[in-house]
Amino acid sequence: MGCTIMVGGLFGDEGKGKIVAHVACFDKPSIIARGGVGPNAGHTVIVGDKRYGIRMIPSGFVHKDTRLLIGAGVLVDPNVFLGEVSSLDVKGRVFVDKRCSIIEEKHIVQDKGSSHLFKKIGSTGTGCGPANEERVRRTAKQAKDIEDLQAFLTDVPLEINEALDKGENVMIEGTQGFGISLYYGTYPFVTSKDTSASQMAADVGIGPSRVDDVIVVFKSFPTRVGSGPFETEMTPEEANGLGIEEFGTVTGRPRRIGMWDGKMAKYSAMINGATQIALTGLDKIDPACKGITDYDKLSTKVKEFVESAQKDVGVPFTLLSTGPEISEIIDLRGN
């Protein structure tokens, strides 16, 4: 495995939390490090009847022997972070880069009070945009300046590069998705940073030459929350008819839902340098496939969908998710 980066290939909420949690339990990396914007993310991890909605701690926390790191590029909201440390019981194995920029209450007030960010763009109201603005102005606080974070500080790049030198497995967990990248997404309806695999590497402090694999996560019915173009969007009535409605993990807002977009998926895989694809929501194409773990047992309808999507993208589809629970997956990676 070496060093694997996982990123969202569409508009976010592709199911990265589920895929990262599976791969963490299967590949047992010594480190899982989070890149991405900050607590605007909401990863869902479901293990048995337990459901976690996580905004700051890497989704791979379910693998108990892994060190959980938050890269310097990520914005940390100390309240959200400390709340998750105690609710997930991960103290002692979760660490934050000393250079992470801090979200303060004033950033949340600015975000929610901004007609441009909150009303026009449809931001999550978590303070990320204003905190990144302040970071660029170079007046933001860093994790090392915050008393409550002292016990969690580390040098994330040093930890990751040393683990890789020793031949250990490391996973880099991205958040958000390609379509809301500040550089490559549907500007101005985007988040406050790039979301591609290269950005995730920079966020945790590894050079491109250290990365072995990039797994881009797609969902069979793309979704989008907030405003902005969505070429293959269907009406809420159509989504309701198909029984595939979704609601946001952080904001609870209904997600806009669309049909598979092969052109977008191919372009996204190109910019991310995808070596493998994970596809979630196969049970939404055919509910009879829920929970299946063996490719041969999938229905013809689902197999045809996967084969056609793989042809669109031109990269092997190696992880096929057949339900939200961590064990509902077909893993074709052959390791």
Give me the residue whose beta carbon is nearest to ligand IMP: 226
Residues 109-141 as b or e (16 or more Cβ within 10 Å = b): ebbbebeebbeebbbbbbbbbbbbebbeeeebb
Known active-site residue 111: no
Q: Residue 242 in contact with residue 284, Cβ under 8 Å?
A: yes
Look at the block and give the residue holding tokens 């293959």: 232
- Whole-number Å distance between alpha carbons of 204 and 206: 6
Q: Judged by CB under 5 A, does residue 13 bind Mg ion?
A: yes
- Residues in contact with ligand IMP, shown as a per-residue x/- string from 110 to 139 under the rule CB under 6 A: -------x---xxxx-x-xx----------
- Whole-number Å distance between alpha carbons of 211 and 192: 24
- Whole-number Å distance between alpha carbons of 335 and 333: 6
- Residues in contact with ligand IMP, shown as a per-residue x/- string from 199 to 238 under the rule CB under 6 A: --------------------------xx------------
Out of 3, 14, 214, 278, which residue is the one contacting ligand GTP (CB under 6 A)?
Answer: 14
Crossing angle, helix 300-313 and helix 262-272, to 10 degrees? 50
Q: Residue 201 in contact with residue 33, Cβ under 8 Å?
A: no
Positions in 231-260 near Mg ion (CB under 5 A) = 249
- 22, 27, 43, 213: the catalytic one is 43
- Residues in contact with ligand IMP, shown as a per-residue x/- string from 32 to 61 under the rule CB under 6 A: -----x--xxx-------------------
Binder of residue 169, out of ligand IMP, Mg ion, ligand GTP, none (CB less than 5 to 8 A by kind): none
Cβ-based nearer residue to ligand IMP, 181 or 275: 181
- Residues in contact with ligand IMP, shown as a per-residue x/- string from 165 to 184 under the rule CB under 6 A: ----------xx---x----
- Whole-number Å distance between alpha carbons of 278 and 262: 14
CA angle 300, 16, 9 (to 5 degrees): 75
Known active-site residue 43: yes
| Nearest of 201, 202, 178, 177 to residue 267 by alpha carbon | 178
Instruction: Return residues touching ligand GTP (CB under 6 A).
Output: 8, 12-18, 41-44, 46, 175-177, 249, 280-281, 283-284, 321-324
Instruction: Return residues touching Mg ion (CB under 5 A).
Output: 13, 42, 249
Instruction: Return residues touching ligand IMP (CB under 6 A).
Output: 12-13, 37, 40-42, 117, 121-124, 126, 128-129, 175-176, 180, 191-192, 225-226
Could you list the active site residues? Answer: 13, 43
